[in-house]
Amino acid sequence: MRRVWVAPKRSLGHLGRNVFGGFVEHLGRCINGGIFEEGSRLSDVDGFRADVLELLEALKLGVLRWPGGNFVSNYLWTDGIGPRASRPRRVELAWGGAEEPNLFGTDEFLRYCARLGVTPYICLNMGTGTLSEALAWVEYCNSAARSYWADRRRENGRAEPYHVPYWGLGNEMYGDWQVGQLSADEYVRMATRWARAIRRLDPDIKLVSCGMNGWNEWDRVVIEGMASLVDLHSLHLYTGSSNYWTNVLAPHQAERAITYASAWISRVAYVQRLNRVPRIAYDEWNVWYRVHDATLEERYSFADALAVATYLNIFVRNCKWVEMANLAQMVNAIAPIVTTKASAMVQPIYYPFLLHSTTALDDAIDVWVDSPKVAAPELSPGEYWRHRIGDLGPFRTIDASATCDTELSKISVTIVNRDPGSTDRVELRIQDGAFIGKARIRTITEDGSLGKRPAPDIEAVKLEDGSEEAKDDVLVVELPPSSFAVIEVPIAAG
Which residues are known catalytic residues?
Answer: 172, 284
Q: Collect all residues with Cβ–Cβ distance below 8 Å to 183 and sequence separation of at least 6.
A: none
Alpha helices in 318-398 (DSSP H): 350-359
DSSP three-state, residue 193: helix
Q: Collect all residues with Cβ–Cβ distance below 8 Å to 440 and sequence separation of at least 6.
A: 465, 466, 467, 487, 488, 489
Please give the helix or strand (H or E) that residue 297 lies within, else none: none
Nearest 10 degrees: CA dihedral of 466, 470, 471, 476? Answer: 60
**Type of residue numbered 432:** D
Burial 405-433 (b: 16+ CB within 10 A, else e): eeebebbbbbbbbbbbeeebebebbbeeb
How far apart are alpha carbons 352 and 297 in whole angstroms? 20
Closest CA to 403 of 65, 4, 7: 7
DSSP three-state, residue 225: helix
How far apart are alpha carbons 255 and 253 in whole angstroms? 5
> Is the previous residue joined to 394 through a cis bond, with omega within 30 degrees of 0?
yes
484 DSSP β-pair partners:
416, 444
The 8-class DSSP code of residue 250 comes to G
Strands 395-396 and 424-430: unpaired
How far apart are alpha carbons 433 and 436 in whole angstroms? 10
How far apart are alpha carbons 64 and 23 in whole angstroms? 5
Q: C-alpha angle with apex 444: 440 to 448, nearest 5 degrees?
A: 150
Give the 3-state secondary structure percentages of the chain, helix then strand then coil, rounded to 5: 30, 30, 40
